[in-house]
Structure 1
Amino acid sequence: VNSLGETAERLIQSHPESAEDLQEKCTELNQAWSSLGKRANQRKDKLGDSHDLQRFLSDFRDLMSWINGIRGLVSSDELAKDVTGAEALLERHQ
């Protein structure tokens, strides 16, 4: 943007008859550049929010999977019939 301003100043000095038009175009370009920067920042914020949501949903799915696995182990009616079976159940529990 600085080089744009410098170029506009050189053009205004070398073509004073077009100074008003050049200044108007320079102002338009500066406004468009500023608007583009604002829109880019808004898009960046939206992408960041979307990333956070996707990470949350992924963590949620992982947690729900783990909970369902633990629930299945806890609600199991399986009982050991011998010492080896009891040790296996105890190991799985730990």
Structure 2
Amino acid sequence: MVLDPSKYQDRRTWKMTPAMIRARQPFFKGNMIGLALLVAVTGGVYAYTYNFLHRDNDFADVPIPPIDEKELAQLKKEYEVLKANRDK
């Protein structure tokens, strides 16, 4: 059965018995090294991806043309009309 306690668990508290703790002790250091390695690789991939995706120099070489006040006013009017139509 799934919830039947094993002989390595205390039947009242479901905690590990001293025999189980002794059986797992030789593997503790190796498991912690494996865990540290897994966390380091995962963190490294995450950090590399985060740094790669947050570079903001995609359009640094594209010159921005100057805009005069008349064009700016016209663009603002067009934007306000589009915004008013979208809100309706």
Larger radius of gyration: 1
TM-score (norm 2): 0.44
**Bigger relative CO (Cα 8 Å, ≥ 6 apart):** 1
Higher fraction of helix: 1
